[in-house]
Amino acid sequence: MTVAAIIERDARFLLVEENTQQGLRINQPAGHLEYGESLLQAVIRETLEETAHDFEPTGLLGLYLLPTGAAPSDTTYLRVAFVGNLGAEHPQRVLDVGIIRTLWLTRAQIAERADAMRSPLVLRCVDDYLAGRRAGLDLLHWERFEAPRAHAAQATRPAR
């Protein structure tokens, strides 16, 4: 499960250039959902870690399945993409390990770098954004897990 932030300003999209096992790649600010966080918390955190900017999600762009191969043992990623606004910059923050820099690119400039995309979902998300696809954040529901607590009477009962 991954999350991605689709951020557009003046017909340019915010991307990150990152070192991967396949070399330098471009991607939206994105990353894996961590244990105990909601999807919104994850995309806000990932954007901050990779761009040193706050992110305010305003809508859900879509859900994207990306299989990495044909074998049952191959990984399939589920990307949850959000649209939103870039907030305050935190220039003192160090970018996440592997992130080289941020880039603002037009759709055409992104398409020209097809060989450098982290996945085909980079351009697909931009195209869906430009097509006006959006859903409200009210579609998302998150139930926080809380471990059951021992009853107070059991906790204070003397041992026999």
**Which pLDDT belongs to residue 137?**
96
- Whether pLDDT at 149 is above 70: yes
- Tokens describing residue 113: 């770098």
What does the mean pLDDT of the chain come to?
92
CA distance 84 to 18: 22
Query: pTM of the entire structure?
Result: 0.87
**Which pLDDT belongs to residue 39?**
97
**Which pLDDT belongs to residue 150?**
66
Which domains, and CATH codes, for the chain? Answer: 2-137 (3.90.79.10)
**Which pLDDT belongs to residue 144?**
82
Tell me phi and psi for residue 54, to 5 degrees. Answer: -70, 155
Instruction: Give the chain's end-to-end CA distance (angstroms, integer).
Output: 48
Strands (DSSP E) along the chain, which ranges?
2-6, 8-9, 12-20, 23-27, 30-32, 53-67, 76-89, 99-105
